[in-house]
Chain A
């Protein structure tokens, strides 16, 4: 019994001990879930088709695409004006506006105007607060 429970830790491999233990437990748990829920897992195609069918694709995918573009553009724009945080400011204004308009249900001049005002005010205020007051770096 003593031999079975005895463990010698090789320091050069010690970084792998815990990940291997956790990985093994996860594999056992995944197997248990697979056995218990095999019927539900087999029918997951229909489940995902339902989600995709009912999804508001324009707003969901629009959010993802706009966010990707926003993240991707921030640093290159920021490099044009080093250490000023303008990458954040110049990308946030169109991003906040575009997301706001995307989420509107009735797009008229009356409903778009508050979104436009907020898109100008909120990023500018945040940029000022973080760069001038908190003295933190923005892209």
Chain B
């Protein structure tokens, strides 16, 4: 690849800006990397695909990494993916080792990000080449597999599957488009709304509503908890950190990064699952598991390398199969759509320049994240004091700009933002799972085409089982993920029941 043709000053500047803004979003509790990407998507209109992706990937890496700052300094996860960083980061901070904990987390984030990037670079192209051979049957089964994996890893499998199928149903509102071989007829549209819902709900207003407005409504419901004062943020002694803290942690670092990457590859599974899995593995394999939760550096290393490992992993299914690995990469589909580019098995082969630009952007974003956070650690620590009464109104306004400009000025898109913002808030209260809903919404139209066209071509339902050996393997994986989830939930229920019997005060 011709590096100089990719890394223009604008490209570099956008990565730096994206990473810094992402760190701010990640560091303010209640704001996430997904929200950062949602809010900044409209800015990519005029930037072109490569420069737009530079900004968004910077936001993604910065947003995931920034979450460690409040997790360590305040014991509040800045993003859901940094929840396990609190367990040992905050106790270290209370012991006056806040800066050491931050530096541990930043270095681990960098390693996790780079390892996952390597996996992305090595595995996405061969997976895409393999997927090119897929017919509509296998493509439909891949989507079904994505939905079941996502649902299986939800906190409640039944609700997770329900949410995914609900997302598919909502995505079908509108016309069965003749562009994809449909008959052009309306379905699921309330009477009188045929004109405005002709093409259904636009993807980006839905995503901006679910991840922008809904999060702010949730915070508003809780009274917009007051931000931290500068006096609450105690970074601690600068002398407490030493690279010797990584001694004996190489295996933990690599294992956690790979766990994060693997979780990222699974569709729709977020960073919290990555960090929890990496953390619990580090604890299981540790010689001193009793020190975890009391300020154990290995806990921070596992958590942060795990959640940053997610970043490259989540892009693998997106760029090779067209299936987003998590909520944030789901938004990246919107960025591709804005530029008229379709992601899927043909993407890397047809767009080598964009593929190279993405790899370079991810690499630079990780290095910028490290440089900014490591060198300006005491300034970064102050981000947690940024007041929400300043940030939230601006985010709400940017949500409107994004929704309105997405289809070059359709007011109904702004109302869509409100509808799905309120729906997102209600979904949180009803304990619906947003990630499966979003993935279902994104993949629903494709799933329909693959399903109906398969039936039209073969005229028999058994084709979904007999088309090829890949179809059989996919069915084994689908059934395995559901069975595995049922087994795990029953085992957890049995453990909880046993714990309740031993200690009747626990309910």
- Interface residues, chain A, CB within 8 Å of chain B? 2, 5-9, 11-12, 14-19, 21-23, 25-26, 29-30, 32-33, 36, 48, 51, 55-56, 59-60, 62-64, 67-68, 70-71, 74-75, 88, 92, 95-97, 99-101, 103-105, 114-115, 118-119, 122-123, 126, 130, 133-139
Contacts and interface: CB of A to CB of B under 8 A. Distances in A.
Given A71-B414, A115-B389, A136-B408, A33 B159 contact: yes
Interface string B429-472: 10000000000000010011001100110011110000000000
B336 interface: no
Given A30-B162, A32-B158, A33-B162, 10 more contacts: A14-B182, A18-B452, A26-B165, A29-B161, A29-B162, A48-B429, A59-B224, A96-B393, A115-B393, A135-B46
Contacts of B162: 26, 29-30, 33
Contact of B46 (A12, A21, A133): A133
A9 B456 contact: yes
B220 A63 contact: yes
Interface string B395-414: 01110110011001101001
A130 B172 contact: no
Contacts of B451: 17-18, 21
B161, B221, B409, B444, most chain A CB atoms within 10 A: B221
A64 B461 CA distance: 47
Interface stretch (B4-12, B183-191, B479-487): B183-191
A103 B183 contact: no
28 contacts: A5-B462, A6-B459, A9-B455, A9-B456, A14-B182, A14-B456, A15-B182, A15-B186, A29-B162, A29-B165, A59-B223, A59-B224, A60-B220, A60-B221, A71-B414, A74-B414, A88-B404, A97-B393, A99-B393, A100-B392, A103-B388, A103-B393, A115-B390, A122-B393, A126-B401, A133-B46, A136-B46, A138-B409
B455 A17 contact: yes
B197 interface: no
Interface string B173-211: 001100000111111100000000000000000000000
4 interchain residue pairs of minimum CB distance: A15-B176, A56-B223, A103-B389, A99-B393
Contacts of B414: 71, 74
B266 interface: no
Interface in B138-186: 158-159, 161-162, 165-166, 168-169, 172, 175-176, 182-186
A104 B461 contact: no
Given A5-B462, A88-B401, A103-B224, A19 B187 contact: yes
A126 B220 contact: no
A26 B248 CA distance: 50
Contacts of A19: 169, 172, 187-188
B383 to A, nearest CB: 16
A124 B222 CA distance: 30
Contact of B166 (A21, A26, A105, A126): A26
Contacts of A51: 221, 429
A55 B418 contact: no
Contacts of B411: 71, 74-75, 139
Contact of B459 (A7, A21, A48, A62): A7
Given A9-B456, A96-B394, A137 B158 contact: no
